[in-house]
Amino acid sequence: MQAVIELAGLSVRFGKREILRDLRADLSGRTLGLLGPNGAGKSTLIQTLLGFCPVAGGTARIFGHDIRHHLRQIRAQIGYMPENDAFIADMTAVTFVRMMGELSGLPAEAALERAHEVLFYVGLGEARYRKLGTYSLGMKQMAKLAQALVHGPRLLILDEPTNGLDPSARQRMVRLIRDIRDSGQMHILLCSHLLRDVEETCEEVLILKQGQIVHYSNLEKERSTNKRFVELETSGDEAGLAEALTGLGCACTAAGAGRYKMVLPEGFDLREIYRVAAERDLPLRRLSYRRDTLEDIFLKAMEV
């Protein structure tokens, strides 16, 4: 499978300051989350992939095209929604999105048709003849998304798409991103510092810290692996329960006060735990899968 984004020792400098250092990764998932604290280099990485920042060393490839040599081909396949305000105040939304479509290579009539369609799609259908300068922040975000979608890109780059949105507008944006992801027609690179947004929409996560990749994880795999971890709380003959479960192939660690963490073997039936507890007449106060949240993953990565 061809990598969507291939980072091959990518380095970026602003003057003497090294912003990105020797980034190496092959990313081929449908939705990729780019995480990191402020100043980690997330936006710089996006801008470098778009060809805005000069490459100091190494390179990156998008759909096999080198960012140093094939920028035009790359940009033709990318839809970019910037983090900051980006619009033309005295244009109506439909004119703005149409112009952006034409600049991406759509014929004028097709661009107009697509502009209407994407504006309806992002929920600005009724406001599409209003000037962008009169839009609220949430509407401007949606207009930015519309212009990124108008030409049907293969890779959609979203830089902090839920920035400044109220909860309902945020939910709408996340729903749209999931819908685009589920349509299966484009890959998404989502840069955000809101872990919840990334967790709700992304399959893979790349965590940056001080311009370096500190963690890469496939959230889907991580979730399925986590299903083998169980946290259990009981009272009474705790040692006997642990012994019995160890006998069934579980690795048990006592956390004190009747709490156990267990790694279950492949194909282990959870009902065995209830059976063993019932045999020993032990009340199970709590039994839950231990699931590493993205926050856990992020915090672990930050400790590196």
Partner 1 sequence: MAVYKQTYKDYEGKRTGSWSRFLILMRYSYARLFQSRFLVLFLALCFFYPIGCAALIYLSHNSPALAMLKLQANALPAIDGRFFYIFCVVQGVLALLLTTFVGPNLISPDLANGGLALYLSRPFSRTEYVAGKMTVLLVLLSLITWVPGLLLYAIQASCTGWTWVKPNLWLARAIVLGPLIWIVVLSLIALALSAWVKWRIAAGACVLGLHFVGAGFAQAINQILRTRNGSLINLSEVIHTIWGDLFDCSRSADLSVMQAWIVLGVTSVLCLSLLTRRIRGFEVIK
Query: Out of 24, 25, 87, 212, which residue is the one contacting partner 1 (CB under 8 A)?
Result: 87
Of 105 and 249, nearer to partner 1 (C-beta) is: 105
Q: Does 82 bind partner 1 (CB under 8 A)?
A: yes
CB of 106 to partner 1, least distance (A): 7
Tokens of 36: 């990191």
Q: Which stretch binds partner 1 (CB under 8 A): 99-107, 164-172, 257-265, 272-280?
A: 99-107
Least distance (Å) between residue 86 CB and partner 1: 4
Does residue 234 interact with partner 1 by CB under 8 A?
no
Taking CB under 8 A as the binding criterion, the range among 115-123, 208-216, 243-251, 276-284 that sits at the site for partner 1 is 115-123
Question: Which residues inside 51-80 make contact with partner 1, applying CB under 8 A?
Answer: 51-53, 72-73, 75-76, 78, 80
The residue range among 3-11, 91-99, 217-225, 293-301 that interacts with partner 1, by the rule CB under 8 A, is 91-99
Helix axes 167-183, 137-149, angle to 10 degrees: 10
Identity of residue 297 = I
Site for partner 1, residues 264 to 293, rule: CB under 8 A: none
Of the pair 4, 195, the CB lying nearest partner 1 is at 4
| Nearer of residues 91 and 302 to partner 1, judged by Cβ | 91
The residues that bridge with 251 in the sheet, in sequence order, are 263
Closest CA to 122 of 180, 76, 185, 82: 180
* Residue closer to partner 1 (CB basis): 114 or 209: 114
Minimum CB separation of residue 221 from partner 1 in Å reads 27
What single-letter amino acid sits at 195?
A: L
Hey, which residues between 168 and 197 contact partner 1 (CB under 8 A)?
179-180, 183, 185-186
Residue from the set 25, 27, 50, 56 that interacts with partner 1 by CB under 8 A? 50
Please, what's the largest Cα pairwise distance for the chain? 76
Asked if 160 interacts with partner 1 (CB under 8 A), we say no
CA distance 1 to 197: 27
Cα 12 to its chain centre, rounded Å, is: 23
Burial of 239 (0-12, 13-18, 19+ CB in 10 A): exposed
Show the tokens assigned to 182: 């589920």
d(CA 148, CA 81): 6
Q: Which is nearer to partner 1, 144 or 230 (CB)?
A: 144
φ and ψ at residue 184, rounded to 5 degrees: 70, 15
Q: How far is the CB of 196 from partner 1 (least distance, A)?
A: 23
Is 137 near partner 1 (CB under 8 A)? no
User: How far apart are alpha carbons 291 and 270 in whole angstroms?
Assistant: 16
User: What is the phi/psi pair of residue 86, to 5°?
Assistant: -150, 100
For residue 78, the minimal CB distance to partner 1 (Å) is: 7
- Going through the chain in order, the beta strands assigned E by DSSP cover 5-14, 17-27, 31-35, 57-62, 65-66, 78-81, 155-159, 187-191, 204-209, 212-218, 229-234, 251-256, 259-263, 284-289
Give me the residues that bind partner 1 (CB under 8 A), please: 14, 47, 50-53, 72-73, 75-76, 78, 80, 82, 84-91, 95, 99-100, 102-107, 110, 114, 116-118, 120-121, 125, 147, 149-152, 179-180, 183, 185-186
